[in-house]
Each structure stands twice: as structure tokens, then as C-alpha cells.
Structure 1
Amino acid sequence: MSPLNSLFKTAQLALSDAHTALDNLTESAIDLTVPNIRLGVTGLARSGKTVFISALVHNLTAGGRLPLFDAAGTGRLAQAYLQPQPDDNVPRFNYEEHVETLIKDRLWPESTHQISELRLTLEYESATFFNRQLGGGKLHLDIVDYPGEWLLDLVLLKQDFRRFSEEAIKRAKARPNLSNDFLSTLARYQNNLHDEFSEDIARELASTFTEYLSRCREDENALSMLPPGRFLMPGDMKGTPALTFAPLDLGTIQTKPKANTLQAMMERRYEAYRKHVVRPFFKNHFAKLDRQIVLVDALTAINAGPEALQDLNQALCEIMGAFRPGKSSWLSSVLPRRIDRILFAATKADHLRREDHDHLEALLKQLVDQAMNRAKFSGAKVETLALASVRATRQATVHHEGIETPALLGTPLPEETISEMMFDGEEEAAIFPGDLPEDLKDLFSSQEDSNNSEDRSALKYVRFRPPKLERTAEGITLSLPHIRLDSAMEFLLGDKLA
């Protein structure tokens, strides 16, 4: 190639690059004219984060029934559609697969195990006459899904290894039926703290500690305070040194451990977890949120008993502390003061009779109020709500021997049981789940201490399959049914679409 042709080719490439850069700049400038809101969706295991996001997007894009979401209820919402998310380094929330699982398979999608994101664009007309004359509005809604267990790691940022160990072992000793293997392993290596580090010992301690945390999370226990959060949801960090540590019983030892001992390496890995896992999550993701919904599975905690509810209360205190650090707080260097609306939502309201929805919301409000007081919370607007992102049951009345009994009609999941009856996951059943007590304090006391032990023992909430979608006379399949999903949308988004 001649020098002249080479120069011409270089000029063409440079011009092409300039055009590409100009196009990207133009697209960015156009996009900057559209306001966006980043909505964080979190909750502890099995609280329904994936179902909430899927149902929200499905109802907005499919024209679902949302009378209490003002923009939709008044006909001002023109359309909603998915677009590429703004963060290319964050996994996309797999909306299409999750909706297919809900609608076609009538199964609940897999739980959240990592952070993910989705962008939904809403086009709407303003509620005011003046703004309507200026043309239609548009809003980008960036939904950020992340495990609530990661949020509980916030407490680790203010705990050194000694304090973390003390708190973790204290909790473990209070749960001997769940932690016996871990505590036994810990005792076996108590005299090895100052010996040369052994990777085999570290792995055994980390493994038994993780197994203990996993047992705590099972439905029959439903405990919530289980940091470090990545131990149960390691993702691509599984097996890394930052996740291969465990709390140690340091007793009265105050001297700094010698290098390369078991104690020194456990402390080092704990610090690596705080530095490379916890702090980046809060600075790179959590700190960028504008609004937040925290989903709470109170029913599973009620099923498990008073200890699970008390543990949930403590977890909510820690979660609440993450949202609004005070001006002089040590958190101010990690989290800016951005989130201005927080909704705590008790999920699975469809597992209760309609008359008990207010009691469920009252229970959540009681838990959140205590958390707010203990966390010295101020700043954001906070609401509570009982909802079902996807309503899996219908209210029904059973007639038996001249007696009418209110019940829930739905398809229990396979192997769900009540008394001696086990369900096959195919047939519908009418179930009376029991009533929440008028005095919610009874839920926090043992049956031996409660005056309403019979009512407590009658409470049993089974899990149901997603419903078959209804079809209109014209053959149109309706969107996923819900309970108060539109109320949640109105609180979180309504002011942005006014």
C-alpha cells in the first residue's frame, strides 16, 4: 500500500471513529434529558424479590390492572417497555425466563443469588394541565435487585475481627441445636490459634460455620441475622480466601497474633472480606439508589416461632441503619444520603384471609417502628404495606354440615403438609390457615407463656403454586393477579409521574 493510500485509510478510520463518538455523544445527550430513578429491591431469602420485579414489569408492560397506581388507573400511562440497562458490568435480571416460569410452568422462579439490573422506560402524560401542554413525559426506571443478606453485612464495617467473633459465637451458642458441629470444630482447634496456619483447618472451620448458617436459614428455623452474607450466596467468589474464614473464640487474648498463625490469617481474611466484598458493594451499588423496597417474609418467621420473629426484628434494625447514616456517622464516608423513600412490604398476603391483611401490616409496622427507633432513623419517607406480588389464592367459603367456614382456594406446592395431609401440587384445595392474634405480642412469646396457645398452634401457612391466568371472553390472557402491587408502585414512583 502506497503512503498516500495509507494516509487516506487512516483518515477514513479517524473520521469513522469521530462519527461513532458523535453518535454516542448524541444518544447520551438525548438520554440525559430523560430523568431516571434507581429502585433497589431487596429482602432476605424467600421474601419474593424475583417475583416482585417480574410481576411489576409484567403488569406495566402488559397493561395489568393497577387501579391504585395513579398514572395507570387514570389512563395517563401510555406505555412501558424494556431497554438495555445502563450498567454493562452488572448482570441483567432475567425477566423473560422468570415470567415464563411463573405463567407457563406455574412455578416460582429461583431466588436472588447475586446483584442484577433491569431498565424499564415509562411514557406518560402529566397529571397537570400545564405540563400536558409541554408534551408527554418519559421516565427511566432502573431496578436493582440484590440479596438482603448482603445488606446485613453493613454491620461488619464497624466491627473488627474480635467483635465479629464475639457476636457470631454468641448467636451460635444461643442456637445449640443448629450450631453444634461448628462449635465442636471450633473447640477442637482452640489450642491451634497460635500455631502455623493450616489451610485444611481454615477450610473445615469455614465449612462447618457455613453449614450452621445454612441450617439457620431453613424454613423451620427462618432465622435472619446470618452475616457474613456471601457465605450463603458466594457466587463466583466460592472457595476464595476472602470467604474461607470463621469466627474464633479469642477469650481474653489481647496481644496481636504473630504472622502466619491461624488467628492472624483468619483476621487477615476477615479484613479482606470487608475490604474487597462489603465496602465495594455499598459504594458501587447501594449508594447509588434513589428509592428502596424491602420485602419481608413475616409468615415464614411466624411459622418458625418467636425466636425467628425476634431475629427478624434485629435484622430489620440492621437494615434500617443502612439507609440513613447521621451526619457524624462513620457511615458517611461509605454511603451518601440519597434514598428518600423506603417501603417495607410484608409479602405473601394471599396466604392469609383478607380480614388478616391489616394484622399482617400491623405486625410489620411494629417491627419497623422498633427498628427505626433503635437505628435513630431520620430523613426518608417510610411506609409499610402487606402485599402479594402474585396472588396465588382466592377467597372462598366452605359449607360443611350447615356451617360456613372462610378459606383460601389455591393449589398447594408439592409436599406441602397440614397435619397428616400431604399435597401433590396438582389439585386445588380449600385451606383455612388460621387467624393472626388480635394481640400481636402473643407471636413473640412461647406457647407455654401465651394465653392463646391454641390459636398459636393453629397457625399454619402453606405455600401455593402460581395461579392459572384468567382469559377474557375474547380469548385474551390477563396479566398476573396481585394484592396491592399497585399501591407499592404509587408510593415508590407516583410522584415521579405526576
Structure 2
Amino acid sequence: MVFTSITDGITRGIEDVGARVSGVFLEPTIRLGVTGLSRAGKTVFITALVANLMDRGRMPQLHAARSGAIRTAYLQPQPDDTVPRFEYEAHLAALTGEAPHWPASTRAVSELRLSFRVQPSGLLGAVSGLRTVHLDIIDYPGEWLLDLTLMNKSFAQWSADVLERLPARPGGGAYLGQVDATTGAAPHDETGARALAAAFTAHLLAAREAGFSDCTPGRFLLPGDLAGSPVVTFAPLPAPEKTPRGSLWREFERRFEAYKREVVRPFFRNHFARIDRQVVLIDALGAIHAGPRAVEDMRRVLADILTAFRPGRARWLADIVLGKRIDRILFAATKADHLHHSQHGRLAAIMEALVREARDRADFSGARTAAMAIASLRATVEAQISHEGATLDCVKGVLAGTGRVAAMYPGELPEDPARLLSPARQGAERWLEGDYAVEGFAPARLNLKPGEGPPHIRLDRAAEFLIGDRLT
């Protein structure tokens, strides 16, 4: 069995090397990972990006589109036969149909291949003619990305971290009340274990609903076919003085390690470790609306996320021999269409400040990073209204659920991001200044001209940063 594992590993390594060599010398492939924290709009981002790369009339900031280097773009069967295909056509129909609505959110890994016929620039391009470049988009839940931060933690460390922050989080008090009546040194009882796991999962669901970002383990929220299995039936416990064999602590510790081994590590090996470029989508406005504690939770999570990446400048020989390294990472605050354009700069500055620590880690390792405010699909138009003698810059759209057209003034973001981040770091319960509102807008009905993709805000700039250098 050991020999078989070794030979299987060698075979996979040879296959990976062969794939990398063909990608470098024949038809280059960009593997773009797309993830995000809860409700950040991953599905909409991928759908709108692909639609606008196929019909590039709204992509002036993508140099290869503006210059005409991209002659055509078309969908092809994806290379990974065991990964579900991203349902692009169904999602596009949902966004652009007679009764437009938001598509279902990401619940598992999916993939889509978009291929370009590109005219390279310069003398070499004139000699070589058109070439094919493949863009493989890998969509995966943000909760699964956060799980990678568990790999370097023991059950004791994870339990201590979680229990420390529970009092300030929704549903945390209820779980702490239940765990206080439990001792990890007691003999393991499966009925009690399931009750604790259910209570902890209820807390995670409540925290996510309230706008908190750190809701690990991610499979507790999206268990799929793991539902009810021991690998997702554990919870954090206070460390007892003794942990005898057969105790609840020992069993939860074993299941925690199995979760890392059987769930997290295969995801890293099969999907995450093969990514070239990464975009992390963030609902920063939702966190601001939820309050200072949600903003601090998001800031800390973004700093932790970089521990899961292997950032660095990709070199083709190093890629072939040592494996891929993510060399560009975009942190994008979504739903910029919920703000008047006069506040987009402030949202971008807040985004920059939120990811400063995370960006510094990546930049230090050689990866290029960027932070920007975008709207993958613009669902509003801008308007001005008079209120108590003042003119307010608003956005207007169709409210989700009601179908009513309404104008919204979400409040004014501060020019200095420290006015948000400082009280967040200090543990404030609410904002002392300002009241930031968020409404849910439905997608607007579209009348697209030939050659135009759906309307957006800065999606072309995001594409230029993520893949523009590989299309010229």
C-alpha cells in the first residue's frame, strides 16, 4: 500500500509537470480563483465577468479589449472532468431575463473555461499570428478558504480562539451556556456531542446572518454530503486539566484533526494549490452596516486569509518544478452601485485600509495586490433628492422582494477610514457618528445592444489587473 501511494504520487506529479509544460509552451492557461466572504456576490461576479469578456463593449479599461488584441472569446469544456461546471447560462438568464433576479449563491466548487483568440503585440506577434489563451475560473465558497487557516492550529488552539470571541458574537452566549454545563473530561456521549455541534452550528449561522466573517469550520454551514458525519460533529471546548482516553475532549480533538485531514487538505491539494490568480470579494458595506464588531471581524479575517495563500512572482520554470504560486491577488469591495459615485473613492480607501495588513504580507512575498470598489452588475441609477433643505446624492433601484422603485441615501462614509477602523479595533458596540444603511436591490431589466455585456462598475479594471498581462 505504501508503494502504491508513492507510485500514485509520482504519476500525479508527472501528469502535473506535463500539463504545466504544455501550458507554458503551447496554449497558456490562467487559473483564476474566485471566492468571497458571505453575500459578496461571487456568482454574479463570474457571470458578469464572462459575459463582458465575450461581448466587450463595456470593457474600455481592459487593454486587450480596447486595442482589439482579443479577436474572439468563447466557452469550451473545462479540463477537470470531476468538477461541476459553473452554470453560466442559467445564471445569465436569471440576471438578464424578463423578470431578473439574483442567482443562487455558491455552495460548492465549480469551474468554467473561457478561451480567447489573441493577437500578440510586437514583432513576435506579427510573426506568430493568433494564439489561444485559456481562462479557467474556479468558483469556491469563501468559508472553505477560511478553513485553510485551521491547518496550523491544534484543537486546543482553535477552541481557545473561538471561545474567546464568542461572548461578543450573535448566538455565542447560548452556546457558552450549553458548554458550561459540559466537561471535556467526561466520557464521550454521541447524543451530547451532537447537541453541542448543533448549538455551535446555530451560532455560526446567526453570526453569518449578522454580518460576521469568521464562521469556521466552513463545512458546518455548507456540509453537503458530509451532513451528520462525525467529521462535522464537533465543537470548541474549554481545556480540562486531564483528557482521559474515551473523553469528549479526545473525541472532538480526533474529529477536528480528521476534518483537517479529510476535508481541508484535499481541497487545498486538488483546487486551491493550482490557482495562478485570485480575487477575494468582500461585502464591506454590509459589514459597515452591521457595526464595528463586524468590521473588526472582517479586518482580522482578511489578514488571516493571506496565511492560506502561497504568494510570490510566478516563473515558468519554478511553476513546472515546484508548483504554482499565486502572483496577483485582488481584494474587491462589491456593491459599489449601492453608493453614489461621489463616495466610491471613500469606499475604496476603506477597502485599502481593511486589507492593509493582508496586502503587506503578500507584497512582502512578491505578489502583486490591489484593492478596489466594484459592482459586478449595476442594479441602480444615481439620483439626487432634497431633504430638510439639503441635496443628497442617492441611488435608485428596484427593491428586492417588493418590486418597488425607491431612492436610498445610505449615509456618508468618512473620508478618513480610521474613523471606522479605530472604534472597530477598540471593540465599540455601535458607531458614534453616522448611520449606514444598506438596502437590497434587485437586478434591473436590461436592454443590451449587440456587443455589450451587462452594465458594471470597474469590472474592466478588475479584469485588467487579474488577467490583462496574459492577453497581450
TM tier, smaller? 0.7 to 0.9
The alpha carbon displacement at 1:470 in A equals 2.4
Match of 2:349 among 362, 380, 383: 362
Counterpart among 410, 434, 446 of residue 456 in structure 1:
434
Q: What corresponds to 1:272 in structure 2?
A: 258
Closer, same or farther in 2 for the Cα pair 1:374/1:287, shift >3 Å?
closer
Q: Are 1:127 and 2:116 counterparts?
A: no
Structure 1 residue 133: Cα displacement: 3.0
Match of 2:244, as an amino acid?
A: P
**Which one of 313, 316, 323 corresponds to residue 309 of structure 2?**
323
CA distance in 1 between partners of 2:115 and 2:121 (Å): 18
Offset at residue 432 of structure 1 (A): 1.9
* Preserved contact between residue 321 and residue 375 of structure 1 (Cα < 8 Å): no
Quote how far apart the aligned CAs of 1:435 are.
Answer: 1.5
- For the 8 Å contact 1:107–1:465, the answer to whether it is kept is yes
Paired residue type of 2:141? P
- Work out whether residues 106 and 465 of structure 1, in 8 Å CA contact, stay in contact via their aligned partners in 2: yes
Q: Does 2:366 align with 1:379?
A: yes
Residue 487 in structure 1 maps to residue 461 in structure 2: yes
| Residues 409 and 429 in structure 1, CA contact (< 8 A), matched pair in contact too | yes
Matching of residue 162 in structure 1 with residue 136 in structure 2: no
Counterpart pick for 1:38 among 9, 23, 31: 31
1:470–1:477 CA contact under 8 A, matched in 2: no
CA–CA distance in structure 2, aligned partners of residues 69 and 460 of structure 1: 33
Q: Which amino acid aligns with 1:407?
A: C
Letter paired with 1:381: R
Match of 1:283 among 264, 269, 285: 269
Q: Is the 8 A contact 1:470 1:478 kept in 2?
A: no
Q: Which residue of 1 aligns with 2:234?
A: 245
Distance 1:141 1:257 in 2: 53
Percentage of identical aligned residues:
47
Match of 2:111 among 109, 117, 125: 117
Instruction: State the shift of 1:110 in Å.
Output: 1.1
Distance in 2, matches of 1:212 and 1:147, equals: 19
SS of 1:169's partner is helix
Q: Give 1:477 shift.
A: 8.8
Residue 207 of structure 2 aligns with which residue? 216
**What letter is aligned with 1:201?**
G
TM-score by length of 2: 0.87
Aligned residues of 1:112 and 1:145 also touching (Cα < 8 A): yes
Instruction: Indicate the residue corresponding to 1:174 in structure 2.
Output: 168
List per-residue Cα deviations over 1:196-253 (Å, max 9, x = no partner): 32111111010000000110001xx2111121111111122111110011111114x2
Q: What corresponds to 1:330 in structure 2?
A: none
Distance 1:471 1:484 in 2: 18
Local SS of the residue matching 1:406: strand
Call closer, same or farther: CA 1:449–1:269 in 2, change over 3 Å: closer
Q: Quick one: which amino acid aligns to residue 281 of structure 2?
A: L
Q: Which residue of the partner structure matches residue 294 of structure 1? A: 280
1:444 and 2:421 correspond: yes
Q: Which residue of 2 aligns with 1:465?
A: 442
CA positional deviation for 1:449: 11
Instruction: Show the 5 A alignment for 1:56-205.
Output: 56-104=49-97, 105-175=99-169, 177-190=170-183, 193-205=184-196
| Structure 1 spans left out of the alignment, 5+ residues | 1-24, 327-334, 415-423
Structure-1-length-normalised TM-score: 0.83
How far apart, CA to CA, are the structure 2 residues paired with 1:359 and 1:84?
A: 41
Number of equivalences: 441
Residue 310, structure 1, aligned to residue 303, structure 2: no
Secondary structure (helix, strand or coil) at the match of 2:212 reads coil
Secondary structure of the structure 2 residue equivalent to 1:38: strand
Does the CA-based 8 Å contact 1:412-1:464 persist in structure 2? yes
Aligned to 1:427: 404
> Alignment partner of 2:308: what SS?
helix
Which has the higher relative contact order, 1 or 2, with Cα contacts under 8 A spaced 6 or more apart?
2
Q: CA RMSD in A?
A: 2.7
Structure 1 contact 317–375 (Cα < 8 Å) conserved: no
Query: In structure 1, what is the equivalent of residue 7 of structure 2?
Result: none
Deviation at residue 336 of structure 1 after TM alignment: 5.2
CA change 1:240–1:399 in 2 (3 A) is same
Please give the alpha-carbon distance, in whole angstroms, between the structure 2 residues aligned to 1:55 and 1:366.
27
